[in-house]
């Protein structure tokens, strides 16, 4: 890097190496110029650690519901309701992450790492400022929030502490998302992957220990699950800050950059605010869905919770492929190559579609067996299996729609997917779910059908808008 923070020109990339050598390079964190490497190699090197990162993110939920499921349907229902509330935090974190990834990737594509680091500082500061009041609300009003979600007095009595810990510690969730967004935007997804590995290993070790107890350690039940998850995430965040301050990667924060830059912060807020709204729209619709399912009792809610955890487990790796598209779009737009940015989206879309098509086939064969890993309650199993089979029928569309939406965000065009989410989730999904479940008497199955229909519509609408190409001229 020269004195003004610009990256000097680099030589063209070396010829592509073997597949498995590239796989090892991607996991080890090899640095390449993603604006100049062959697209196939760039997608491979970005996608593998991003897929593994998202797999680790989804593993949190699967591990928790596996152990909590041993406590009964009521405990699983509490986890489901708390997750629904936490998705509001996820919406804010993901929205800010979209803006952060877009800005960092654009600056790296332009060759200005110093400005990329400054954008990272603004994102972290903004995340801290948002998390503190959200955490206070979660700590003080956990019982009221569960009641708002339709929980019975028994569920509130047994689960309010779990909810308070999870919502009160939302700062670690926010930091995991935001700092990993910085690394992804910089083209260093292996660091993001390792942070989630660390967090998950700690969580998997502590979950059974704290939930069921061992030796002098008392059985804390649901509370133990919350402590284990929060501890794992907190240690993952500590690793992230260690890597940011180490000075060995593309993004290294030094003392001069630990300041508020009003111009950069204003641009980040402008891009991210609409991104937050985008994910709040989809998240609020999810809260509406779980509120409808709750009408049909705890078994239906527990089945839906298990199914959603499994769905998220397989979708987050697909989200990792979408993140690769977002990084490539941002960096290549920064380098002025709009054609390469568009080609990256089409290729990653097809890869994602093939992956989720295979997953859907797997559920068609073994959905019930998957569900029985988490519960042996026959009614719960029936609801969860029904949900998996119906929702997975839309996976091919879901795959492509996911990549297209991430591409818009990677370009800094957070407005377009916001309008698409509003149309698909509130104009279509919620009314359809309510109408099928209640007036037409289909029960929870009506909600499952509405989810599949909405994701199919999202993909088709996104495809039409993406081909118009206005995202290519977005300035951030």
* pTM, 2 dp: 0.74
| Distance from C-alpha of 370 to C-alpha of 112, rounded to nearest angstrom | 47
Alpha-carbon distance of 127 to 129, in angstroms, equals 5
For residue 77, which of 296, 300, 302 has the smallest C-alpha distance?
302
Number of CB atoms found within 10 A of residue 84's CB: 22
Handedness of CA 466, 468, 469, 471 (dihedral sign): negative
CA distance 204 to 193: 16
**Cβ atoms within 10 Å, residue 376:** 11
Task: Write the DSSP symbol of residue 373.
Answer: T
Q: Hey, what are 223's tokens? A: 């509370």
Q: What are phi and psi of 236, to 5 degrees?
A: -60, -40
**380-417: burial string, b at 16+ Cβ within 10 Å, e else:** bbbbbbbbbbbbbbbbbbbbbbbbbbbbbbbbbbbbbb
Which residues, other chains included, contact 406 with Cβ-Cβ below 8 Å and sequence gap of 6+? 319, 322, 323, 325, 326
Instruction: Return the structure tokens found at 27.
Output: 């996991």
Taking a C-beta distance cutoff of 8 angstroms, is the pair 172, 131 a contact?
no
Q: Which residue has the tokens 């999202």?
A: 458
CB 100 within 8 A of CB 185: yes
- pLDDT by residue for the chain (476 residues), tens digit each? 444 444 444 344 444 446 667 667 666 666 677 778 788 888 877 888 887 777 777 677 778 888 888 888 888 888 888 887 887 888 888 888 888 988 888 888 888 888 888 889 999 999 999 999 999 999 999 999 988 877 778 888 888 999 999 999 999 999 999 999 999 888 888 888 899 889 989 999 999 999 999 888 899 989 999 999 999 999 999 999 998 886 666 777 776 777 888 888 998 888 888 888 888 888 788 878 988 998 998 899 889 988 988 887 788 778 888 888 888 998 898 888 899 999 999 999 999 999 999 999 999 999 999 999 888 889 999 999 999 999 999 999 999 999 999 999 888 888 899 999 999 999 999 999 999 999 999 999 999 999 999 999 999 999 999 999 888 887 77
Domain segments of the chain as ranges: 40-473
Contacts of 426 (CB under 8 A, 6+ apart): 281, 285
């Amino acid at each position: 890097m020269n004195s003004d923070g610009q990256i000097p020109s680099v030589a063209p990339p070396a010829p592509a190496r073997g597949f498995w050598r590239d796989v090892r390079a991607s996991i080890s964190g090899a640095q390449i110029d993603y604006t100049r490497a062959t697209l196939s190699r760039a997608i491979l090197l970005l996608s593998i650690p991003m897929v593994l990162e998202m797999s680790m993110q989804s593993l949190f939920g699967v591990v928790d519901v596996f152990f909590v499921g041993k406590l009964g349907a009521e405990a699983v229902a509490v986890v489901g309701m708390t997750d629904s509330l936490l998705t509001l935090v996820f919406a804010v974190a993901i929205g800010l992450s979209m803006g952060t990834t877009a800005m960092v990737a654009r600056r790296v594509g332009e060759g200005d790492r110093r400005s990329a680091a400054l954008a990272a500082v603004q994102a972290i500061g903004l995340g801290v400022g948002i998390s503190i009041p959200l955490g206070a609300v979660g700590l003080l009003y956990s019982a009221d929030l569960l009641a708002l979600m339709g929980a019975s007095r028994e569920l509130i009595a047994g689960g309010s502490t779990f909810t308070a810990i999870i919502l009160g510690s939302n700062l670690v969730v926010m930091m995991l998302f935001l700092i990993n967004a910085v690394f992804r935007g910089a083209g260093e997804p292996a660091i993001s992957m390792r942070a989630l590995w660390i967090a998950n290993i700690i969580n998997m070790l502590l979950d059974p220990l704290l939930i069921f107890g061992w030796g002098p350690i008392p059985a804390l039940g649901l509370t133990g699950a919350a402590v284990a998850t929060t501890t794992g995430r907190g240690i993952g965040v500590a690793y992230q800050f260690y890597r940011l301050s180490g000075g060995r990667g593309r993004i290294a924060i030094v003392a001069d950059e630990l300041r508020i830059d009003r111009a950069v912060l204003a641009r980040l807020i402008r891009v991210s605010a609409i991104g937050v709204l985008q994910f709040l729209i989809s998240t609020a619709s999810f809260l509406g869905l779980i509120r409808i399912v709750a009408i049909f009792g705890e078994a239906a809610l527990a089945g839906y919770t298990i199914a959603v955890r499994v769905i998220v487990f397989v979708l987050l790796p697909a989200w990792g492929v979408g993140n690769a598209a977002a990084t490539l779009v941002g960096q290549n737009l920064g380098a002025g190559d709009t054609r390469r940015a568009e080609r990256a989206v089409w290729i990653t879309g097809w890869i994602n579609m093939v992956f989720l098509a295979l997953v859907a086939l797997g559920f068609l064969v073994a959905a019930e067996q998957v569900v029985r890993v988490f519960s042996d309650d026959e009614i719960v199993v029936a609801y969860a299996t029904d949900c998996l089979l119906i929702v997975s029928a839309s996976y091919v569309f879901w795959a492509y729609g996911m990549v297209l939406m991430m591409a818009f965000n990677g370009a800094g065009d957070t407005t377009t997917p916001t309008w698409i989410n509003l149309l698909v989730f509130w104009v279509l999904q919620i009314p359809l779910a309510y109408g099928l479940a209640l007036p037409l008497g289909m029960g929870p199955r009506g909600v499952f059908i509405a989810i599949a229909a909405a994701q199919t519509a999202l993909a088709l609408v996104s495809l039409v808008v993406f081909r118009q190409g206005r995202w290519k001229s977005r300035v951030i």
